[in-house]
Chain A
Amino acid sequence: MPNKISARDVAIVYRGKLDREPVLACHSVDLDVEEGSFVSIVGPSGCGKTTFLYAVDGLLPVNGGEIRVNGKPINGPGKDRAMVFQSASLLPWRTVWSNILYGLKLKGDYQQDKSAKIESLIDLVGLRGFEKRYPSELSGGMQQRANLARALAVDPDILLLDEPFASVDAQTREKLQVELTEIWARTGKTMLFVTHDIAEAVFLSDLVIVFSARPARVRATVRIDMPRPRSLETKHSARLQEYFKQVWSLIESSA
């Protein structure tokens, strides 16, 4: 399989507000994501994994090295990538329907199949009956379903997910994780998933990439050799526990 994303010697300087000191978030990051694979990035908190994901999306410039998507160096956000943000990123003044439509609308995509597309996405993420609701009327889990649908609506090759289930309650989170693997299997997108939940990363991924403490480098890459489709049983299996311990000690030793 060809590489969908490849990062070479990437350095990213993160600057928050104008009057803040810049921070070296990533230094010399090398990684590859194969087409159609599910790859997670884990690491100590504040290590710069979200910053790296933003850079892949084109939201932040790369200050050294290069990130290529589909073989071409990225130049800002593009149609081939879409981001599923952390909680509270749905536009609160738009209904669920209108939020999912948002990316398409910006593209000026007013084709006839627009509403059929939204309808099928609403079914895919399980939001039937909530189309007319505002985000504030939804539970955290429901909001992240809408967030996922909004990213899928623009039909990207690559889905970038930034701790999408971090603020969802534990039971809903496990359910959403299983559903995400199903949606991934059905759509065949390439997934790059950032999380601090090691069990989540192991459960979802083909490859778990462990970042070191800031400035982030790739500390190790762990191939997750567990059969698919994975279910809740996989989540609680001894095999997953082994991977969990392995990844945990890698993070611990780098923090």
Chain B
Amino acid sequence: MSTTVIEPTPTGFAKPIPTLPPVPWTERYFRLLWGTVGIVGCLMLWQVGTSTGVLDPLFVSSPLEVLRTALRILPSAEFMGHLINTSQSLFLGLFIALVVGIFVGLPIGWFPRLNATFEPVIAAVYGVPYIAFLPVIIMWTGIGMTSRVIIVFWSAVFPLIINSIQGAREVDDNYLRVGRSFSATNLQMFVTITLPSAVPYILAGLRTSIGRAIVGVVVAEFFMSSKGLGYFINLKANALEMAPAFVAIVLLALFGIALVSIVTYIENRFCNW
């Protein structure tokens, strides 16, 4: 049996390879471009609305007024005091939530008996709006720094527990078999297989927790503080000083964005597999 191989004539190879057209910047930065249009557009609508009298600047201030106020009050020691106070409760509460979330969640995910026992309890408590616990926590711990940290902790801990449980449960059987096949001890299994597989879940939980923690700290400061950004917003809004209130609100938004960006950076840097 003879085989026939048909090859193309060599002329096709002799032609020069054409240069490919460049990607226009409107396509390369598509999302960045339209995202900016969205934000700037909203700010312009707000500004135009107040300038033309459609919106009452007394109640909604205006972007330029907020900017002017920001430049005035941001460097002041009084405002810095509020900012630092909020940051302290927020970071301390979040940090404790992260540690507790991991150390409670991973074992519950790992041991089937703990899992079967505690998952319904956690699901039930998670279902309750965490702000509903506020009066209870005030009764337990008063209205000091401790209780604010506890509220931030309480707001933030459940997504971390639940994701840690999920992370420890969803460890791929293939990886567990690899560890056992190489005679890993229980501790080695945990450190080299379970923990690294759970890290992306924990970081995803941390993302959710950050948002909830910020809500927690602001609400806590509304009700039980004479310092902090939540207290500041409440105070200024009640006095119809909307511009400083909006400065604090924008700052809280930036706070959230910054923290979530750090988590995203960690994900991209260390979980890029």
Contacts and interface: CB of A to CB of B under 8 A. Distances in A.
Interface of A: 18, 54, 57-59, 76-79, 82-83, 85-86, 88-89, 91-93, 102-103, 106-107, 134-136, 154
Contact of A18 (B112, B179, B188, B199): B112
Contacts of B181: 57-59, 77, 82-83, 85
Interface of B: 112, 172, 174-175, 177-184, 188, 192-193, 196-197, 199, 271-273
Contacts of A77: 180-183
Contact of B273 (A79, A85, A92): A92
B192 to A, nearest CB: 7
A88 B174 contact: yes
A89 B178 contact: yes
Nearest to B200: A93
Given A92-B273, A93-B196, A135-B273, A102 B175 contact: no
A82 B182 contact: yes
Given A85-B174, A91-B175, A135-B273, A103 B112 contact: no
Contacts of B188: 106
29 contacts: A18-B112, A59-B177, A59-B180, A77-B180, A77-B182, A77-B183, A79-B183, A83-B181, A85-B174, A85-B177, A85-B178, A85-B181, A88-B174, A89-B174, A89-B175, A89-B177, A89-B178, A91-B175, A91-B192, A91-B196, A92-B273, A93-B271, A102-B178, A106-B182, A106-B184, A106-B188, A107-B182, A134-B273, A136-B273
A204 B196 CA distance: 37
Nearest to A154: B182
A89 B192 CA distance: 14
Contacts of B197: 93
A106 B192 contact: yes
A147 to B, nearest CB: 9
Contacts of A136: 273
Contacts of B175: 89, 91
A86 B174 CA distance: 9
Contacts of A83: 177-178, 181
Given A59-B177, A107-B182, 18 more contacts: A54-B177, A57-B181, A59-B180, A77-B180, A77-B181, A77-B182, A82-B182, A85-B181, A86-B174, A88-B172, A89-B178, A93-B199, A93-B273, A106-B179, A106-B184, A106-B188, A107-B183, A134-B272
A78 B183 contact: yes
Contacts of A91: 175, 178, 192-193, 196
B174 A76 contact: no
Contacts of A76: 183
Contacts of A78: 183
Contacts of A18: 112
